[in-house]
Each structure stands twice: as structure tokens, then as C-alpha cells.
Homo-oligomer: A and B are copies of this chain.
């Protein structure tokens, strides 16, 4: 039986807590966080908002904002257990403990929206081989996709995720803004958005690319630019079209 303490009560903490409820080989023995109001999300026997009262566990999972990791880790400096954070963009060495690591689930978590952890890639890293093995065992209990990724690669992977998630969502937002402008529901774009994401579940985005920029259809692009009034949208349309064109020119 692996004992886990979760430090943090946000979305990642909540989703990890729920994922660990299922397997019998792991138990969350404590949840620690400043925000007492969030404790109702966690059916753990032991919760505390006092960081000096963190009990013993095999693994301490720090699931807090990136810039709070170092500070929180200091409360764990005397612990023998493995201390890990869950951040994509933070160096493992932000944790000072000798026995340290990273447990990064590559997914976006929304409050109240359950996710199937089975298919979520979990990127692990550890200072010691034995700890890496321990993290592998832990991750395998909730996911079929466990990857050993070092801090430098993980940062780039996180950057890739920013393009695929944050920036993509902003483009959805532009779609929504245009719908609002012409008085039609964003519902009209929703099936397209889903199909676009489903398409690349099997295809490479390179092969899935369509549209005026891909075809080099200058007339359609000019027509589109004439329809846009928002300066940022015009800049984005132009830059994204150029980027698509140059991607396929390189290929020739």
C-alpha cells in the first residue's frame, strides 16, 4: 500500500485525488491546503490548512501554482518520503529535498468535469532510480501512458501543450466572437471543433491540414481579410496563413 499526501486543493489536486480513490494499492492519507473551503471536494479522513502539520507518507504530491512550489516544498524538507510536483514547466530541482521528482499529468482539468485518467499521459522524473520506479508504479495504477521525461524535455512538451491547448482555445474564442458579431450561436462551430480534434487522434496534423492557406488560394484569403475588422484578428489571420504556407513550401 502506497501512502500519499496531496499538498494543494485546486483542480489538479482534486482530479488526482479522485483518480487515486479507485486503485486498492494506494491511499491518500492527507490533503493539505490553505483554502479550507475546498476541503469538501476531498473525502479524505485527514485535511489540514496548517503546513507544519503534514504527516508521514511515501509520496508527497505538491499540486499548487508553479511559483508556490519552492515555498511549499520547504515545509517538507525534513521528510524522508519522495517529494514531487505536478508542473510541466517547473524544474525538478525547484524542490530541494534529496529525494525529489516530478509527476506531471499532461491534461487540462476543469472543475467538476470528470476525466478518464486511463489515457492521460503521466510524465515522470526522479532524482533516484528507486524513486523513478516508485513513481512508475504509482502512475501505472491510474494511467496506461507513463513516460519518463526529464525537466528540459518536459518544459518543451509543456510549451507544445500551450500551443495545442491555450492558443487553440483562443482561436475557438475568435470563432465565437465572429459568431456573436453576426448573431448566430457558437453551437454552429462546436461540431467542427470536435471533429477537428478527433481527426488528429489518428492523422498527423501535417496531413490533416486543409483550407485556403494550405491550397495557396490567395483570392479566398483576401476575401477573408476584407471581412475582418479587429486588428489582432487580422494580424493572426495573416501570420497563421503565412505559417501554414511556409510549412508546406518547406516540404517541397
Contact = CB atoms under 8 A, between A and B. Distances in A.
Copy total for this chain:
2
A192 B106 contact: yes
Contacts of A162: 211-212, 224, 237
A227 B156 contact: yes
A193 interface: yes
A contact patch SS: helix
21 contacts: A66-B217, A110-B208, A121-B191, A123-B188, A153-B184, A156-B181, A156-B182, A157-B178, A163-B178, A164-B172, A164-B174, A164-B175, A165-B192, A166-B213, A167-B244, A168-B171, A170-B240, A170-B243, A173-B205, A194-B197, A197-B198
A182 B156 CA distance: 8
Contacts of A196: 108, 164-165, 168-169, 197
A120 B195 CA distance: 10
Contacts of A110: 199, 203, 208
A239 B235 contact: yes
A200 B211 contact: no
A81 B147 CA distance: 60
A176 interface: yes
A204 B203 CA distance: 27
A193 B196 CA distance: 9
A134 interface: no
Contacts of A184: 147, 149, 153, 157
A139 to B, nearest CB: 13
Contacts of A173: 205-206, 209, 247
Given A89-B223, A163-B174, A179-B160, A186 B204 contact: yes
